[in-house]
Structure 1
């Protein structure tokens, strides 16, 4: 299979996935308890004013009509207008997107930088103390619950020790380099929380794939030929072990996104996750639909790039 066809097929699957996510999100939001009309029109308004506002947002239309209108807006590049803020959903998301990108990308980079060495350490000391310790830490990390981790970090490092701020993205009244320092300080606890949650899976996957790679025939041949163990481990075995780890990065993005929603809520971090929480409490359908669409597109794109990268790393994938 040519690389062009390989990419085209992944792109087609991505579009179907996005359409499915858009449809499911649209329908599920309509099942939420409460009256979304209250976010648009007050109960104190006259019936004529209320009806005019509901008509303006299309809330007076049958469900199928609302769905068709929503798809029509998406095709034109419009995500609608926020019920509560009365501004385009695109503006709402663009205000919050940089904070979520900063949080998730930093957490992903830290996970890779910490996870690869820990996985290599465990695999190179198979069934020894270090290996068992890393396994215990990995399984413990997989069992952690995002809000619980966040609350513990807030109580210990935010309130008890006062090392880090307990909420927000930066302090008010600071400018220049002080502002960047404030952003870094506020970022520490959310990043640590999100990294701890996803690190366990990455370390255990890295350990398992590297142990499998070390048992391959070409590794045995390299040992027979007298190559140093360190070179065999880091240059030959690790290269093949990184293939599943590369896939895991793409798969974990969905968990990172879900974790970011809870993390941003716990730490009052002004990203898209926090925006989703606030929109749910206010039944702000357009913001919720736009946020979930953005997250779905992001996950699909990252998974597509992961598949393409995997195809370059292992040419057998292109012809499978």
Structure 2
């Protein structure tokens, strides 16, 4: 219980620090971001006093004391109030994130899980069959991993999408057919087809790291005394592979997977931009291009909270998988 208590306390303090930094950093910037934002908002028409107060609360410049602003900011966060977007005025930041989040979670999340599963299973098998022709997959996947994300995406767009016409190359659905995706079979199929190339980009770019890491851990694990003992007892090779070797070799990968999965919310920025995919990554690029401070803050905060939450869950799961962690953590 001490292990879990320390974990809860650590992540609670870290979350408070992240929220506090998100509040204080704009107030430490040179100039007045609030005045810049209000000037941009004024170009679109009159700005209500409520919007002015909200912007100054988010970015500084309010007449209230800093301490009062801080607690009002915390209270607004609990109510889901992240401010008003400049680039999508007068849309609230939370509404924009809420609309983009499912696209990123479904695409990047599923692709990351598939990449992890393929890499772990493939690495375990190659490590088990070390010294055979299966080792030839390692240089190939390493080469794919070394190709820049955007370059691989562009290659897929040109050859697979434009030359062969096997999959759509832009957006999350057929905008000429549907204004918005629908809960119908043709619409679901259409969304799936638009996700094929972005998902393939993610899998091809990331599977090599999992494959190499798992293969090396398998080779190291297979030389351990308990593996030799299990083989000497005459246990079936399949049981030695999955019960003894894979289970122990995969532990470091699971820890890394928690961190990787946590960054799903931030999306694959370049990939979503190349495919014009309507996820959080593209939303972040839009915010940066338009100097939309409130939208950037909202995405940063969401990413930080998600990373902390995912690491916390993985720490708890890791404590169950490997009891040694609870004694040394």
Instruction: Determine whether 1:61 maps to 2:64.
Output: no
Alignment partners' CA distance in 2, 1:301 and 1:6: 17
Instruction: Determine whether 1:9 maps to 2:13.
Output: no
Deviation at residue 62 of structure 1 after TM alignment: 7.1
TM-score, normalised with respect to structure 2: 0.84
Alignment partners' CA distance in 1, 2:101 and 2:31: 25
1:105 aligned partner: 109
Deviation at residue 171 of structure 1 after TM alignment: 1.1
1:317 aligned partner: 325
Alignment partners' CA distance in 2, 1:149 and 1:18: 36
Structure 1, unmatched stretches of 5+, are: none
Determine which of 9, 18, 26 is the counterpart of 2:15.
18
Question: What pairs with 1:212-291 in structure 2 (closer than 5 Å)?
Answer: 212-254=220-262, 256-257=264-265, 260-291=268-299
Alignment partners' CA distance in 2, 1:254 and 1:229: 35
Instruction: Determine whether 1:300 maps to 2:308.
Output: yes
SS at match of 1:120: helix
| Greater mean alpha carbon deviation, residues 122-131 or residues 215-224 | 122-131
Question: What pairs with 1:39-188 in structure 2 (closer than 5 Å)?
Answer: 39-42=40-43, 54=52, 57-58=55-56, 61=61, 65=66, 68=70, 70-84=73-87, 85-131=89-135, 133-172=136-175, 173-174=177-178, 176-188=184-196
Alignment partners' CA distance in 2, 1:293 and 1:92: 14
Structure 2, unmatched stretches of 5+, are: none
Alignment partners' CA distance in 1, 2:239 and 2:97: 47
Deviation at residue 267 of structure 1 after TM alignment: 0.8
Alignment partners' CA distance in 1, 2:263 and 2:207: 11
Deviation at residue 38 of structure 1 after TM alignment: 4.3
SS at match of 2:193: helix
SS at match of 1:227: coil
Alignment partners' CA distance in 2, 1:23 and 1:265: 30
Q: Tell me: CA distance 1:31–1:217, structure 2 relative to 1, closer, same or farther (3 Å).
A: farther
Task: Please give the per-residue CA displacement for 1:123-144, whole angstroms capped at 9, x wherever unaligned.
Answer: 012233322x232134224323
| Greater mean alpha carbon deviation, residues 26-35 or residues 137-146 | 26-35
Alignment partners' CA distance in 2, 1:33 and 1:104: 36
Alignment partners' CA distance in 2, 1:33 and 1:206: 50
Contact 2:109/2:264 (8 A) holds in 1? no
Deviation at residue 220 of structure 1 after TM alignment: 0.5
Task: Please give the per-residue CA displacement for 1:254-294, whole angstroms capped at 9, x wherever unaligned.
Answer: 55555522211111111111111111111222221111111
Deviation at residue 235 of structure 1 after TM alignment: 2.2
Q: RCO (CA 8 Å, sep 6+): is it higher in 1 or 2?
A: 1
Question: What pairs with 1:189-204 in structure 2 (closer than 5 Å)?
Answer: 189-204=197-212
Deviation at residue 318 of structure 1 after TM alignment: 0.9
Task: Please give the per-residue CA displacement for 1:39-84, whole angstroms capped at 9, x wherever unaligned.
Answer: 3122x98xxx679675552167179949735445325542122233
Tell me the number of residue pairs that the alignment of Structure 1 and Structure 2 aligns: 312
TM-score, normalised with respect to structure 1: 0.86
